[in-house]
Amino acid sequence: MAFVTDRTGHWSVCIMGTQGTNQRKLFDRNGGYWDGEYDWL
């Protein structure tokens, strides 16, 4: 699963396994939830 989070104080796109395991960051959003090159719903 892919998801966005600001748990570190900065928005990033992360992925994890379907059981919630192996969470890791793919890239920072470099702005707010809707800012930047990539928009995610």
pLDDT of residue 1: 94
Q: Is residue 41 situated within a structural domain?
A: no
Q: Is residue 40 situated within a structural domain?
A: no
- Give the chain's domain count: 1
pLDDT of residue 23: 94
pLDDT of residue 26: 92
What pLDDT digit, counting tens, does each position of 10-38 carry?
888 999 999 989 999 998 887 666 665 65
- Domain residues for the domain of 26 are 1-35
Q: Could you give the count of Cα atoms lying within 13 Å of 11 in the half-sphere of its Cβ? A: 14
Q: Which residues contact 31 (CB under 8 A, 6 or more apart)?
A: 11
pLDDT of residue 9: 87
Q: Is residue 28 situated within a structural domain?
A: yes
